[in-house]
A and B are shown apart, each in its own frame.
Chain A
Amino acid sequence: DVKVTQSSRYLVKRTGEKVFLECVQDMDHENMFWYRQDPGLGLRLIYFSYDVKMKEKGDIPEGYSVSREKKERFSLILESASTNQTSMYLCASSSPMGPPSTGELFFGEGSRLTVL
């Protein structure tokens, strides 16, 4: 069964702490994504990566960075966590857009981060 695994389901951190969210996929997908989900706002794209060591900013990259050292792993980093980063974080992967792929995303279970 194909899988996207996020290392932590629930995290509680303090303001100013550095936070790492890890995501691993076993589908050999080139593309990986980090979204943030907030009530009433849906999913908003933070960063995505279309190849190892490559990254592109999404709609809300401020306060975040990412790392992709291996094809299967995509990490989201909060350099100095703030309370407005309390949210559900969703990792996803996909094949590149273009036949036969249609860019369908496969999601992990999510990481719920609370920053106090």
Chain B
Amino acid sequence: AQSVAQPEDQVNVAEGNPLTVKCTYSVSGNPYLFWYVQYPNRGLQFLLKYITGDNLVKGSYGFEAEFNKSQTSFHLKKPSALVSDSALYFCAVSPGGTGRRALTFGSGTRLQVQP
């Protein structure tokens, strides 16, 4: 069975500083990896995904994530945080290839960017 760990419940960062939100995963075979963001009282919005190819993936709103197969990690990063980035972030994984599978999500990390 697949699983995702987000070890930090909350990450605090000052506006303008770089941010990292951590994610590690466990899955059979090659993974499909995703990051989603949730703003208050809203559904989840897709940020970026890793399927294959370049380990550094770029997504929406200036976010990027680095796939590290040896460490089974997929950390979310941004070079310069904005107050508007404050939200709840979820990492998700699925086995790659074809088949009837759903995404498995982590417990979420709340990002707080201080002005």
Binding site for B on A (CB under 8 A): 4, 31, 33, 35, 40-45, 48, 50, 56, 58, 90, 92, 96-98, 102-110
Contact = CB atoms under 8 A, between A and B. Distances in A.
12 contacts: A4-B43, A31-B100, A45-B102, A45-B104, A92-B44, A97-B94, A97-B100, A102-B49, A105-B46, A106-B46, A107-B36, A108-B43
Given A104-B46, A107-B43, A107-B44, A58 B107 contact: no
Contacts of A109: 41-43
Contact of B103 (A96, A98, A103, A110): A103
Interface of B: 4, 6, 9, 32, 34, 36, 41-46, 49, 51, 90, 92, 94, 97-108
B105 A42 contact: yes
B100 A107 contact: no
Nearest to A90: B43
Nearest to A108: B43
Nearest to A56: B100
B101 A103 contact: yes
Contacts of B51: 102
Nearest to A54: B100
Contacts of B49: 102, 104
